[in-house]
Structure 1
Amino acid sequence: MDSNADYVIWLDRLTHRDVERVGGKNASLGELTTALQQEGVRVPEGFATTASAYRAFIETNQLAAEIQAQMSALEQGKQSLEATGKAIRRLIKTADFSEELSNAIRQAYRELSQRYGRDEVDVAVRSSATAEDLPDASFAGQQETFLNISGEAELLEACRKCFASLFTNRAISYRQEKGFDHRAIALSVGVQKMVRSDRACAGVMFSIDTETGFPDAVLLTGAWGLGETVVQGSVTPDQFTIFKPLLQSGQFRPIIEKKKGSKAKKMVYSSEGTKTTVATIGTSGKERQAFVLDDDEILQLARWAVLIERHYGGPMDMEWAKDGDSGELFIVQARPETVQSQQSGGLLKTYKLKESGPLLLTGLSIGSAIAVGKVCRVLHPKDIDKVEAGSILVTEMTDPDWVPVMKKVAGIVTDYGGRTCHAAIVSRELGIPAVVGTGDATRRLSSGQEVTLSCAEGDQGQLYAGRLDFESIDVDLNDIPETRTQIMMNIASPAAAFNGWQLPAKGIGLARMEFIINNLIKIHPMALVHYDELEDRDAWQTIRDMTQGYDDKCEYFIDRLSQGIGKIAASQFPHPVIVRLSDFKTNEYADLIGGHAFEPKESNPMLGFRGAARYYSDRYRAGFALECQALKRVREEMGFDNIVIMVPFCRRLDEADKVLKILAEQGLERGKNNLQIYVMCEIPANVLLADQFAERFDGFSIGSNDLTQLILGVDRDSAELADLFDEQDEAVKTAIRQVIEKAHAAGRKVGICGQAPSDYPEFAQFLVEAGIDSISLNPDSVVQVKRRVAEQEG
C-alpha cells in the first residue's frame, strides 16, 4: 500500500472534476467553495476522505472477496436483498481503520477545530458516492448522514458507518436497476462544520419549478430545526416561489408565492449522557404561525440559487441551513436536478378529468397526471410487503426504504411533506403522481377504498371518491407556425399558471381577479377594512384565525392578491398579462367570509351592482383600494410591468372617468410607468360608443358571453333558452366587427377572451377575417387554434 496515499483533501481544493476522487456530493461542495464563495455564497468549511481512503479501508480489512460473495448470492437468487445488505454492512462496521487512515482523518479534524477556535468542533458527516448526483441518476438519500458529531472517536465511528451505508438495501437495489457495478463505486465522507440550524431553520431549494419544469422560478422550502425533517417529509414545510429574471438587479422583490406549512415538529440536538444525538420535538404555536424566513432571507437564497445554476449550467437541487447563533445562511449541498431537466422537449402530455366526484381531501400535487386505484394504507415500513401493485399508497411519509414498493403503485398520498420531501422527489423520478402534505389521509382513508388521485388541476392535488373517468392527451409542440394574430391564454388560477409555460402563447388575455379572491383569500375585502366593527362574531373569529400573523387585516388581502397576480404575471413575462378587476356579482360577494353584511340583495345580480359601478361607490370604494394596492405592489415592488389592468362592465363614459381617476389616486395612472388600462367590451354601449371609450382606454377585450347575452337578450345561464344563446349570431358578429373597426381607427388594439374561439373553429376564422389583434384561449385549445389561425392567415 502506498504510504503517501491521498486519504483526505480540503473542500476548498476540490472542483466538479473530482467526482471520481470524492463523489458527486463532495465534488459539488468543493466547486461551490472554490468558485462561488467569492460571489457571496456561504459554504461551511470542511474536508473529505477520498475514494482511495475507502478502497484502502476495504483492502486493509480484506473485505472485497467477502462482499463479492454476498453480492453473487443475491444475483443468483440464493439470498435476499435484506440479508445481503445486512451482512455486508456488518462486515464494514466491525472492520478497523489503518493507523495511517485514522491519523489522516484525526489530523484534518484537529485543523478544522482550530480554524473555528474550538477544541472539538461539531461537524456534519455525510456520505458521497463516486457515482452520485449525476444529471441522469440521483442517489440522494441512499447513503447515511450523521449530524452534530463531536470528537475524534465519534468522527471515526461516523466515517465507518458512512462506508457501510454504501450497501444499504436501497443503494444496492438502485445500483442494480441503473446498471452500476458496485465494485467500481467508492464512498467519500464529507466532514463540515455543523450549521446550528437546530436553533433556526433549514430546508431545500430548487432552481426550477419541480412540477412543471418552468425554468424561471426558484422553489424554496423550509422548516424549523435541522433540515432532515424537510428532506424526509416528516413535516409540511413553508414554501416560497421566487421569479428569477427580476432578482438580480436588486431593485425588485419578486416573491410570487408564500405558503405557510404546519411545521408541527422540528429536529434538534439532544444529549444522552456524554454523547450528543438528535431528537424530534413539537414546535410552539408561535413557530407554527411564523414563516421560517423573512423576505430578505428568501431573496438572498434565491439569488444564490441563480448564481449556482448559472455556474453549473443547469437546474440545481440545493440544501440550505440558517445558523441560529450567527444568523447567517449557508448552502450545505448542491446537486443537479434530475427530473425536469431530463424531460425531452416537443411533446407535452396533459391530463383531464371527464367527470366529477366527491372531494375527499387535498394536498400538494406532485406531477401532473391522474391515477385511479384502491387505497393501500400502510403506516410502517415493516408492512410494505403488503403494498399491492397498481394501488394508491397512503402513508404518513416515506423514506428511501420505501422505494422498491413505490415503483409498483399507481399513486402516492402522504400526511406530511412538501414539494421537496422524499415522497415528492421519488414520485417525480418514477413518473408517479402524488399528493403530499394532506394532513390526515391515513385517518380519513381506508384500505380497499376506490379513489381517483388528480394532479392535473394546478399545484393543489385532489383525491376524489370512486374511479373517475379521465383522458390523457399528447400535445405536439413541434413545428407550430407563427401567427400575425397574437395567441394568448385565459388563466383563472395562480395554481395552474405555470402549467402552460411551454405552450406557444404570448401573454395572458384574461386573468380573473375574483378567482384569486375566492380561492386564495376567501374573505370579503370590506370585512377586512371593518374587521373591528364586525357584528357577525363567527365571521370575526374565522377572519382572526385566517389572518394570524397580519396585524393589519387589510395587508392579508393585499399580500395574498399580489402574490396570486404575480405568479400569473411571471408565467408569461415579459408578454402582457391582462388582469381583470374584480367582477363578482353581489350574491357571489356575499358568499365570501363576512360578505353578507356588505352586499345588497338583488333580484338580478347579473345586471346589478357589479363591475365599474362598485369601484367608485362608497359601499365598496375602500375594498377597491385594496385591489389597487395589490396591483401597484405587483408592478412596482415585484417588478411585473407586463401587467395590464382591465375594467369590466363599464356601462357609461362618466363611469370610465371615475374609475380612471380612482386608479390614478391609488398610484395606477394610465401611461405612467407604461401602465396600460383596457376596458372589457361586453355591453352594447361599449360597441356603440367605442370611439369615445377608445379616448379613455388603451384597448378593448371582448367578453363574448356577456356581449351575446345583452345583444340577444338571452340569459346565458337559462337552460330553456340555451338554443337561442349563440355567440356566432350575426348581430353579435356585427357588433364585434364594429368595435374592431372603431378601435383600430383610434389606434387601439382589440382582443377577445371568451370561450367561443376555443369551441368553434369557424368563429376563430371569423375573428381573423375581422382583423382581431389577439385571441385568448383556454390552455387546452392553444395549439389547435393557433394552427387554424395560421391557415386562415395564409
Structure 2
Amino acid sequence: MEAIIKKFSEVSMADVATVGGKNASLGEMIGTLSAKGIKVPDGFATTAFAFRAFLEHNGLVAPLQQLMQQLDRKTYSNLQTTGAAAREMLLKGSMPENIKHAIAKAYRGLCDGSADVPVAVRSSATAEDMPQASFAGQHESYLNVTGETAVIQAVQKCFASLYTNRAIKYREDNGFDHTKVLLSAGIQRMVRSDLACSGVGFTLEPESGFRDVILLSGIWGLGENIVQGAVMPDEFYVFKPSLKEGKKAIIQKRLGDKAQTMVYAGHSDSGTINKPTDAELRDTFVLNDAEVTQLARWCMLIEQHYQRPMDIEWAKDGLSGELFILQARPETIHAQKKPGAEPLFSLKQKGKRLVSGAAIGNKVAAGIARVLTSPADAAQLKEGEILITGSTSPDWDPILKKVCAIVTDTGGRTSHASIVARELGIPAIVGTQDATRKIKDGDLITVSCCEGKTGYVYEGKLGFSQTNAGDAAISLPKHTSPMLIMSDPDQAFALSFYPSRGVGLLRMEFIITHTIGIHPMALVNFNNLQDKETKSRIAYLTRHYEDKKTFFIDKLSQGIATIAAAFYPRDVIVRMSDFKTNEYAELLGGKEFEPVEENPMLGFRGASRYYHPLYREGFGLECAAVKMVRDEMGLTNVKVMIPFCRTLMEGRQVLDVMASFGLQQHENGLEVYVMAELPANVLEAAAFAEYFDGFSIGSNDLTQLTLGVDRDSALVAPLFDEEDAAPKKMIQMLLDTVRQTVVPIGLCGQAPSDLPEFAAFLVAHGINSISFNPDALFQGIANIVKAEQQQYIDSAPLPVII
C-alpha cells in the first residue's frame, strides 16, 4: 500500500511526483545540506496518494473533471464561479479516517512528546516548482496551526486550494492538465519569525539575471508581507566571488521602510494581523553583516547543490535567534533565458513626474491608467492599460496579462507585483506610496524604468527610443578595447552584459551627489560646522554612523563595488573626484569649505585639491573607500585615475598623499592612471609615463584648453570642436609619444561613435581602448571594427594632420 505520510527526512527531489516540488526540496536540503550547516525546520508531508484517496473517498474525481470542462477558456468569464464550486466540493468532503490517523500520528511525532507545537501547513503541487514553471503563490498556506484537529483541517484547506482561481488560470496558461496536478500538504515546525524577521533570497540579480550576486531581502515579522508587497524591505547584495574568498562580500545595503509587521493574531489558526512597526525598528536593518553573510553562504551552497539559480525563503527565530531556510525553488524567469544584453530604453523627453518608486525591469510603457482596488474590478481593465493599485497578490494573476505596466503603492523588488512583471516582461514601479492617490483613473501616463533603480511615472505620453543591444556574444575588436563610461551603480548589472572589456571611466561624482549628498570636509569637520540647520540635516542623514567620515567611505565604497562586481574581473577605472568648486559648494555643507572662483573650470579642481589642506582629508576618504573595495572586498580589478594633473610635481605629490592614506601604487596590484586633458600632459607625456601606469585622454578638457574655449560659456560654445585640427594634432602627438612607452592609453568620449573617421584616426595611431556611453557602445564598436579592418588588413597609411 502506498504511503499516506512521508517525513521530510525520507524524501528527496526524486519524490516530486509524490510530495510536490516544495516538500521534495525541503527533504532534499535536510538530507544533503544539513551536514554543511544549513538549518531547515523539520516536518512531514501528505502524499499525492493521500490526495487521490481523499478525492475518491468523496467521489470528486468525475465532478471536478466535468466542472473544469465547463470552464470558458476564451474569456474566463466563469473562472470565479468555477473555482468557488470546485473549492466548495473539496471543503465539504470528509477526510478518510486512515488519513486523519496518519496525520495525527506524524504530528505527535513532530511534537516529540511535548505540548502541541505550532506548525505551518503549506501546499505543494506535484507539478510545482519545475524549472520551466513555478506554482509559487498559487495555493494556500496556513501558519501557527496547533493541535491535531486544526492540522487536519488545514490540510483539507490546502487540498481545496488546488482550485483557487489563480491556480486554475495558471495551469491553463502553462498547459498543465488539471487532473494530473495533485496536492501534497507540508507540515513544518514554525519558525517564530513573528518575533524577529524573515525574507527571501535570489541567487542572481532579479532584474538583469546577473549571476554573480545574491540578493537578500528582509522585513520584520512574518514573510507574507514581503510576498504581498505590503512593505518595502531591506535589501542586501552579496558578491559571490568575494564570499568564496572569505572577503567582505556585502557590496550594497539598502534600508527599507518596513512600515508594517505581520504577527499572529493570538490563537491557533486564527490568522495574522499587521501592526505598525516601531520607529526604531523601521530605522534598523533586520540582519547584521554576519547574518547576511551566513544566509548568503547558505544560498550559494543551495545553488551549487541544485546547479541552477534559486529562489529561497528564510526566517529568523525570535526565541532562539537561529536562522532557517524555509523553502528553496528554482528561479524560473532568468533560468530560461540566455544571459545577454537587453534592449536599452531611453526617454526622448521628460514630463511632469507624478510618482516614483522601485523600478522593475528597464523598459518604458505608455497608456491609460486604470486605478483598481481589487481583482473584483477586473472588468474595468482593458487590454494594454496600466494597472494602478495598492498591491497585488496571486489573486490578480488571471488579469495581469492584459496590462502593459504595473504601478503599486507598496512592495519591493521581491514582491508579487515585481515577480509577475518580470515573468510578463513588462515594466513595473513598486513602493510608490501614493500612486493610487496621485494618479487618476483614465489618465494618460508614461511608466519609465530606464533611469536606474528608481522608476518614474510621468504625466502624458512621452516619446522614447529602444536601442537593440544585439547579441551579447558580438565579436569585439582585436586590437582596440571598447569600454564603457559609467556613473550610476543601479545600471551596472544590466550593462555588464554589454560587449565591453570593462569600464574605462567610472565617474564617482554621481555616487557622491546621488547617494552621499554631503561634502566630505563637512563630515571630517562635523563637530565644527557653523550652520546649525546644515549640521542637523547631516546628523540625520548619518544617524547610523557614530563616526561621520565612515558614512562617506561606506556609501562610496558600495557604489564603486557594485560597478566593480558587475564587471569583475574586467578592469574598472575609477576617476577620483573632479567636481569644480562651484559644484562642490552645492553639496550639503559645501559652502563652508569651498572658495568662490571666477573661473572654476580652470581653478581648484582635480589633482591640485588632493594634497591641499582645504581638501586633503576629504581625498583621504575617497582613498579609504577605494582601499576598502580593493583590499577588503577583493575587487582588485579597480584601478584609480587622477584627473586634471597639471605638472609632474603635482603627480608625485598626489601619489605620495595616496600612499599616506594607505593606497599605495602597485601594492596589491594597484595601478594608477592619469587623465591626459591638458597640453602639459601631451608635451610631457613621456615623463608622465614614468610615474603613472596608463593614460586616458579627456578630449573635452583637452579641446577647450587647446582652443582656449571655456566650454561652460554659451558665448563661445560654437567654437568648441573636438574635430578641429589643433586638438586632433594634440591627440596625435600624445598617441605617438605614448606608443614609444609600455603604458596603455585610451580615450573617453562621444566622437568615436558619432564620427567613424575619428575612430579610424584613433585606431590608426595605436589607441589601446575607447570608452563610450552605453547608448553609443554598439555604434562605437562598429566604427572600431571598420577602422581596424582598414588599418590591420588593408594596411592603410597613418593619417597625418598638417
Query: What is the TM-score normalised by the length of structure 2?
Result: 0.96
Partner of residue 392 from structure 2, selected from 398, 406, 423 = 398
Alignment partner of 1:748 is 2:743: yes
Alignment partner of 1:304 is 2:298: yes
Cα 1:345–1:546 shift into 2, 3 Å: closer
Alpha-carbon distance, 1:197 to partner: 0.8
Q: Is the partner of 2:244 in helix, strand or coil?
A: coil
The residue type equivalent to 1:299 in the other structure is T
Distance 1:41 1:279 in 2: 30
Alignment correspondent of 1:697: 692
Q: Is the partner of 2:668 in helix, strand or coil?
A: helix
Partner of residue 256 from structure 2, selected from 255, 261, 284 = 261
Q: Is the partner of 2:300 in helix, strand or coil?
A: helix
Alignment correspondent of 1:517: 512
The residue type equivalent to 1:226 in the other structure is L
Question: What is the total number of aligned residue pairs between the two structures?
Answer: 787
Alignment correspondent of 1:632: 627
**Cα deviation digits, residues 74-113 of structure 1 (max 9, x gap):** 2488971111111111111121111111111111111111
Of 66-75 and 320-329, deviating more is 66-75
Alignment partner of 1:469 is 2:466: no
The residue type equivalent to 2:236 in the other structure is F
Alpha-carbon distance, 1:716 to partner: 2.2
Alignment correspondent of 1:46: 43
| Contact preservation (8 Å) 1:512, 1:580 | yes
Distance 1:776 1:592 in 2: 28
Alignment correspondent of 1:538: 533
Alpha-carbon distance, 1:766 to partner: 0.9
Q: Is the partner of 1:509 in helix, strand or coil?
A: strand
Alignment partner of 1:564 is 2:559: yes
Of 224-233 and 299-308, deviating more is 299-308
Alpha-carbon distance, 1:479 to partner: 4.4
Distance 1:787 1:284 in 2: 56
| Contact preservation (8 Å) 2:474, 2:499 | no
Alignment correspondent of 2:667: 672
Alignment partner of 1:321 is 2:319: no
* Mapping 1:488-637, distance limit 5 Å: 488-637=483-632
Alignment correspondent of 1:163: 159
Alignment correspondent of 1:71: 68
Distance 2:14 2:480 in 1: 49
Cα 1:534–1:333 shift into 2, 3 Å: same
**Cα deviation digits, residues 654-678 of structure 1 (max 9, x gap):** 2112111111011100011100011
Distance 1:489 1:304 in 2: 34
Of 400-409 and 211-220, deviating more is 400-409
| Contact preservation (8 Å) 1:398, 1:423 | yes
* Mapping 1:425-504, distance limit 5 Å: 425-477=419-471, 478-504=473-499
Alignment correspondent of 1:12: 9
Alpha-carbon distance, 1:761 to partner: 1.6
| Contact preservation (8 Å) 2:42, 2:189 | yes
Alignment correspondent of 1:774: 769
Q: Is the partner of 2:186 in helix, strand or coil?
A: strand
Alpha-carbon RMSD across the aligned residues, in angstroms, is: 1.7
Alignment correspondent of 1:102: 100
| Contact preservation (8 Å) 1:73, 1:79 | no
Alpha-carbon distance, 1:744 to partner: 3.2
Alignment correspondent of 1:142: 138
Alignment correspondent of 1:333: 327
Of 73-82 and 648-657, deviating more is 73-82
Partner of residue 120 from structure 1, selected from 110, 116, 119 = 116
Distance 2:9 2:269 in 1: 30
Of 76-85 and 158-167, deviating more is 76-85
Partner of residue 288 from structure 2, selected from 287, 294, 298 = 294
Of 507-516 and 598-607, deviating more is 598-607
The residue type equivalent to 1:233 in the other structure is G
The residue type equivalent to 2:2 in the other structure is A
Partner of residue 239 from structure 1, selected from 235, 238, 258 = 235
Partner of residue 761 from structure 1, selected from 756, 759, 775 = 756
Alignment partner of 1:784 is 2:779: yes
Alignment correspondent of 1:228: 224
The residue type equivalent to 1:194 in the other structure is M
The residue type equivalent to 2:274 in the other structure is T
The residue type equivalent to 2:71 in the other structure is L
Cα 1:363–1:792 shift into 2, 3 Å: same
Of 192-201 and 338-347, deviating more is 338-347
Alignment correspondent of 2:376: 382
Alpha-carbon distance, 1:347 to partner: 6.6
**Cα deviation digits, residues 443-478 of structure 1 (max 9, x gap):** 222222222111112222122222110122322215
Cα 1:617–1:360 shift into 2, 3 Å: farther
Q: Is the partner of 2:609 in helix, strand or coil?
A: helix
| Contact preservation (8 Å) 2:646, 2:681 | yes
Distance 1:318 1:301 in 2: 10
Alpha-carbon distance, 1:402 to partner: 1.2
| Contact preservation (8 Å) 2:341, 2:495 | no
Distance 2:518 2:338 in 1: 42
Cα 1:73–1:275 shift into 2, 3 Å: closer
| Contact preservation (8 Å) 2:340, 2:497 | no
Distance 1:149 1:142 in 2: 20
Alignment partner of 1:56 is 2:56: no
Alignment partner of 1:651 is 2:646: yes
Alpha-carbon distance, 1:276 to partner: 5.1
Q: Is the partner of 1:271 in helix, strand or coil?
A: coil
Of 778-787 and 414-423, deviating more is 778-787
Cα 1:242–1:662 shift into 2, 3 Å: same
| Contact preservation (8 Å) 1:481, 1:787 | no
Alpha-carbon distance, 1:596 to partner: 1.4
| Contact preservation (8 Å) 2:60, 2:89 | yes
Alpha-carbon distance, 1:535 to partner: 2.4
Of 333-342 and 72-81, deviating more is 72-81
Alignment correspondent of 1:737: 732
Q: Is the partner of 1:488 in helix, strand or coil?
A: strand
Alignment partner of 1:353 is 2:350: no
* Mapping 1:404-423, distance limit 5 Å: 404-423=398-417
The residue type equivalent to 2:201 in the other structure is M
Alpha-carbon distance, 1:758 to partner: 2.4
Distance 1:599 1:102 in 2: 77
Distance 1:445 1:596 in 2: 39
| Contact preservation (8 Å) 2:753, 2:783 | no
Alpha-carbon distance, 1:575 to partner: 1.2
The residue type equivalent to 1:410 in the other structure is C
**Cα deviation digits, residues 188-242 of structure 1 (max 9, x gap):** 1111111111111110110111111111111110000111111111010001111
Distance 1:256 1:682 in 2: 32
Q: Is the partner of 2:33 in helix, strand or coil?
A: helix
| Contact preservation (8 Å) 1:201, 1:321 | yes
Distance 2:556 2:161 in 1: 48
| Contact preservation (8 Å) 1:359, 1:465 | yes
| Contact preservation (8 Å) 1:704, 1:756 | no
Partner of residue 200 from structure 2, selected from 193, 197, 204 = 204
Alpha-carbon distance, 1:561 to partner: 0.5
Q: Is the partner of 2:412 in helix, strand or coil?
A: coil
Alignment correspondent of 1:85: 83
**Cα deviation digits, residues 361-387 of structure 1 (max 9, x gap):** 321111111001122222334334323
Distance 1:666 1:505 in 2: 32
- What's the % identity of the aligned pairs? 52
Alignment correspondent of 2:799: none
Alignment correspondent of 2:170: 174
Q: Is the partner of 2:650 in helix, strand or coil?
A: helix
User: What are the ranges of 5 or more consecutive residues in structure 2 without an aligned counterpart?
Assistant: 790-802
